[in-house]
Structure 1
C-alpha cells in the first residue's frame, strides 16, 4: 500500500494540537479517519533525533486509512513541545517514567480509555515501559528497531555498557558529554548534523557519525546530501531543532541512572503480556539483530518481522514496514469502537 506521506507542516489529514501534560506543553499531531469513526487509537512515539510527526510521516496515512485515530506527540525536548534546561530542571523530566505518565495524561485529554502504542528508537523503550507503568491503558504494542530490555536489579553505567557489552553505544557517551551542544548550535550546523545522522557523506566518501565514537566534528561541515533526509523535510527538521537547540534531545542520553532507579518498581513486572510486534531492521548498526535474542522469554505474545534496512527503516523502506504493521494489526480483532 503506497500512500502519500504526511506533510508535517500542513496536511489536511491531521491537526496540530497543544496540551498541557503534567505541567509541560506538548505539541502533537491528531488525525481521525474520514467520517470520524475509528476502531481504536494509536499513539506513535519517536526517538532520537527524529521529530515526532515527521519521523512517522509514512505510517500516519496507513493507520488513518485502516480506520485508526492517530496521535503523534513531539516528546520532551523536541519540536513544539517544551524543552526544559537541565540544570536547573531535573533530568527525570526526560525519563521513561515521565514519558509514560505524559502519554497516559494525553490519552485522558483526548478521551481514550485504551490505546495502541507504536515506537521507534527511544520511542521503543518508552512504549515498552508505558505498557509496564500503565498496563490498564495499553492494549497492543508495535516497535521498530528497538529490542526489549527488562528492568534490572543491577545498575550498569553507560560507560560500563559501552566498554564491556555494546561498543556501538559509544556515541551515547559523546551525546551526553556536552560537546554536541557546543558544536551543533545554529541552523547550518544543525543542517549538517541531520545530513550526517541520516547517512550523508563527505566528497571523499567519509561519514561524520560513528556509532562507536559519536559525531565527527571535523567531517561535519563537509557532509553532503542524505538520500533520505533532504529538501523540504530536512528544512523542517532544521526549523524544529532551531526552536530550542539540541540540548533537549541529547538529555535523553543522560537518563540511564534515573531510568534504572524508576525501574526498581517494575522488577516484578518484567513480562509484557499484551500482543506485541517487533520489527527488526537487519542492517541497523546500533540496535543489531543479536540484541533482540531471547525477547520471547519476557513477551509471550511476541510476533517478529524484519526488513532489510538501516536504523531509519520507517522512512527508508516505509512500504515494507507498513505492510508488516498492517498485516499484524489486521489480525488483532479490533472492532469499530470509537470510544477508544
Structure 2
C-alpha cells in the first residue's frame, strides 16, 4: 500500500514549528519524528520555486517510515518564514548557514540533505560550507555546479549555453509582482507553473520568456497541484506576495562572490545521489554530464518526468531515494 502524502494543514505525522534565528529572522519548518521517537538520522528537505516545504509531502512519509527524523523548512521569503527586503539574505551561503543553525535547534550534530530546484542548489553548497554537518546529499532535478572564478551573468547564460534560463531575467525584473498581486492571480500563476493550460492550449509560463501574464486568466486546472493542496499553496504565497520569493533570482552576483571562498573545495566527497527528470525543460539532462568529476561518491538515477518529479512521479522518486538510503546503510522501510 502506498504511503499517503502528508496534509500540511493538519496531519498527526508532522508539526509546524518556528525558530527565530540569531539576527531575528523567523523560520517555519515542518517537523516529523518516526513512530516511537527514535530516529536513525535527521534529514533536511529543501524546496524550490514556486514551492514550499509541502513540496516534499510525498517524500516525508517515506523518510518517517524508514526511521528518519524530518525537517522541511520554508526558505527565506516563502510561506510562513520571514520575507526581509535585504537581497543578501536570499543567498546560497545564507541558506546554508540557516540550515546549520536549524540543525542545532533540533539537536542534530549531523544531517542528510535533500533538495529540489533552488533547494538543490542550496544543498550542494551547504555540503561545501558545512562539511562537518552534512553526511549525505540527494538532489532531485538540480545538478551540481562547481564554484567558478569568473563571473557569468544570467544575461550571458541566457544568450549562450543556457537559453532556457532566460525566464530568470523576467522573474528578477520586478515586473511579475505588478500583475501577480492578489489571491486570484497567485492562484492562476501556480496553476500555470504546475502545468495548467488555457482552453486553446495556452501556456502561462515559458522558460525563454518568463510568466506570460496575458494568458494567466485563461489557465485551467493543473493535474499536479489542485484542490485543497492548491488552496494551501495559494494561502502560503499570499502571506508575503510573490516578489519576496523571486529574490532568489536576484542573487547571482552575491552567490558568485560567496563562491570565491569555495574554489578549492569544488569536490564533494560524501555519498551523493542525483535524480534526473528526463523531461525537465530547464534543468536539462546535458547539464549534469560533468558532475562525476567533482562527486566521487555519486549515484545517478532518472525518472521519466518533468521538473515536478517529486509530485508527478512520487512512487518512482521514493523508490530511488529508499534504495539509495538502504545502500548507504540506513536499513529498510517498514512498509510501502
Aligned residues of 1:46 and 1:75 also touching (Cα < 8 A): yes
Once the two structures are superposed, the pairs formed by residues 239-250 of structure 1 within 5 Å of their partners are 239-250=235-246
Once the two structures are superposed, the pairs formed by residues 181-260 of structure 1 within 5 Å of their partners are 181-260=177-256
CA distance in 2, matches of 1:333, 1:191: 42
CA distance in 1, matches of 2:130, 2:144: 17
1:329 aligns with 2:325: yes
| SS of match in other structure, 2:307 | coil
**What is aligned with 1:67?**
67
Over 6 Å off, 4+ runs:
none
Once the two structures are superposed, the pairs formed by residues 270-285 of structure 1 within 5 Å of their partners are 270-285=266-281
Pairwise CA distance, 1:335: 7.5
| SS of match in other structure, 2:323 | helix
Pairwise CA distance, 1:205: 0.9
CA distance in 2, matches of 1:324, 1:116: 16
**What is aligned with 1:9?**
9
Instruction: Please give the root-mean-square deviation of Cα atoms over the aligned residues, in Å.
Output: 1.0
| SS of match in other structure, 2:213 | coil
Superposed CA offset, 1:299-334 (max 9, x none): 000000100000000000000000000000011123
| SS of match in other structure, 1:132 | helix
**What is aligned with 1:28?**
29
Superposed CA offset, 1:96-126 (max 9, x none): 0000000000000111000000000000010
The structure with higher relative contact order (CA 8 Å, sep 6+) is 1
**What is aligned with 1:18?**
18
**What is aligned with 1:146?**
142
CA distance in 2, matches of 1:71, 1:193: 27
Pairwise CA distance, 1:20: 1.1
- Which consecutive unaligned segments of at least 5 residues does structure 1 have? none
Pairwise CA distance, 1:22: 3.2
| SS of match in other structure, 1:332 | helix
Aligned residues of 1:209 and 1:216 also touching (Cα < 8 A): yes
Aligned residues of 1:39 and 1:335 also touching (Cα < 8 A): no
CA distance in 2, matches of 1:308, 1:122: 20
TM-score for both structures, normalised by structure 2: 0.97
Pairwise CA distance, 1:250: 0.3
Aligned residues of 1:171 and 1:212 also touching (Cα < 8 A): yes
1:119 aligns with 2:115: yes
Match of 2:284 among 275, 285, 288: 288
CA distance in 1, matches of 2:56, 2:189: 20
| SS of match in other structure, 1:319 | helix
Pairwise CA distance, 1:186: 0.1
- Which consecutive unaligned segments of at least 5 residues does structure 2 have? none
CA distance in 2, matches of 1:106, 1:208: 36
Call closer, same or farther: CA 1:335–1:224 in 2, change over 3 Å: closer
Superposed CA offset, 1:21-57 (max 9, x none): 23210000110000001100000000011011x1000
